[in-house]
Chains A and B, each alone.
Chain A
């Protein structure tokens, strides 16, 4: 059977799209609603995944305690980065955040004792035994699988993961939708439209930006946790700047300043990203699978350029809400 027709493959694509939905929700809040050009979102994903794994392996903490701490640590880093940088102009913020993301990646790559170095999470802790942080999670995933199987009959592990990730994603979308419709979200949008006007109305612009950055960072960390759970091992290479650019593609594809546009963007992106891997007809068949990986990234680059040129508001966004001043 061709891979394209296999349900297992599409369940995998669905899980990854769900993880990227959560990841890009943070960016939607920061970029779409608040107008913050954060190009270091991947750093928060890395901080979430690494903090959890290090706490579980080195401190031997249960995963259910380590995961909330990891999210809190990422949010704290959001505050820490925001404090000095949020007063900067948009383009400078972009450069600083991308530099921050690279600093995090370099540390993950080179502080072998803490992070396991280039081989990644398997090398955390003692060098003799390969580290695993995933036992608690797999136990939980197994329970969900059993529960789903008793209702729907014979559900696979991947389907259980799919259900968990998307449940979390949908809950987060609903909560965020409430938040951005509330006065809090309206202030964020007013900051995006005109910072001076909202501070003239007595809003503490800086504080709101900081909150937006920290909440977005926490969302990035949640995505990092699911990334770690899904793949069982991860390494610094998973957290290069490209991952942040993917999230931007998702946000812009779906449409800015619409929370529920994010999963649509993520699914379209996921299909493009994973689907093109298996296009076995011309012109794609002229390239081998390694070359098709490059072709895929060329296509994503062209999508970004094309969207900016012809439909900057994405599929669902409103043109007047596009913050691209």
Chain B
């Protein structure tokens, strides 16, 4: 039983990171019909920005996290202006934008490779500090990650539910034309969506780097398909769906390794479990758990 509790705790750690990374991907997908294949690199970028502040400059981790979020948000908004908006202006369709996103992913990932090299990096934190919470053991990084992630999730949830901007984002993701008719300034909301999505991706990247204890420039790409799985599971364009989908996916990935479940899945196949969830969702409920069937 304690094994199961431990897996659930690990699942919440992974799941909350996937969830905050999935919000941006889902909103951008819903609003702009961009399948942002470079979203994984936004995470990686955030992780290395924090590395720069925390290790190269020797500043505390809190500063590093804030800097990572700010710089990733800046990159997100910059790319909207120099890349995505001009591409939309040229009337690029879904497939074109998909391929542009792949090109962007290659560029960003290998710039990071070029600057920081392929060797694994670590933050200046005590990775051996472990706490016993009843039957489960979590590292300090895991506890910090889960606390920050849940804090961010609650704040983003409130922002989406209560503020004008949040409502506008959801309205736009739900039905772009209808939202435009009601007088929502689309360009402005799109810009804020990139800002929010990229900042959360940057945060997710730092947290992922923390809980993995070491990371390399492929880190974000490795998590990209599980993030997509969370987006699809929650329903494309649904921010709440991405949150719930992310946490559910994290739990499924970890609990699938539980030995009591017919021996459990070998832990190397955790990602394969996520891909299977993705494929099964698309086959049986392509609109996702929270999506509406008319978009499929």
Contact = CB atoms under 8 A, between A and B. Distances in A.
A and B: interacting chains:
yes
A308 B106 contact: no
28 contacts: A84-B279, A84-B283, A85-B279, A90-B95, A91-B35, A92-B232, A92-B282, A95-B35, A95-B225, A99-B229, A99-B275, A100-B275, A102-B225, A103-B272, A110-B266, A245-B102, A294-B113, A298-B114, A301-B102, A301-B105, A301-B107, A304-B100, A304-B103, A309-B86, A324-B94, A324-B95, A324-B99, A325-B95
Given A85-B283, A297-B110, A324-B93, A96 B99 contact: no
A300 interface: yes
Contact of B271 (A89, A90, A106, A301): A106
Contacts of B282: 85, 88, 92, 95-96
A309 B282 CA distance: 30
A178 B283 CA distance: 35
Given A248-B102, A304-B103, A308-B87, A102 B275 contact: yes
Contacts of A252: 99
B92 A291 contact: no
Interface in B84-128: 86-87, 90, 92-96, 98-100, 102-107, 109-111, 113-114
Interface string B225-252: 1001100100000000000000000000
Interface string A289-303: 001001101101111
Given A99-B278, A295-B114, A298-B107, A308 B272 contact: no
Given A99-B225, A106-B272, A91 B286 contact: no
Contact of A291 (B104, B114, B225, B279): B114
A37 interface: yes
A26 interface: no
B158 interface: no
A294 B99 contact: no
A323 interface: yes
B57 interface: no
Which range contains the number of B residues in contact with the other chain?
35 or more
Contacts of A303: 103
A90 B93 CA distance: 12
Given A94-B35, A297-B106, A324-B95, A89 B275 contact: no
Contact of B87 (A84, A103, A309): A309
Interface string A61-103: 0000000000000000000000011001111101110111011
Interface in A111-140: none
A174 interface: no
A269 to B, nearest CB: 13
A31 to B, nearest CB: 9
Interface of B: 35, 83, 86-87, 90, 92-96, 98-100, 102-107, 109-111, 113-114, 225, 228-229, 232, 266, 268-269, 271-272, 275-276, 278-279, 282-283, 286, 296
A312 interface: yes
A218 to B, nearest CB: 22
A309 B94 contact: no
Given A92-B232, A301-B110, A308-B87, A98 B266 contact: no
Contacts of B35: 91, 94-95
Contacts of B228: 95, 99
A272 interface: no
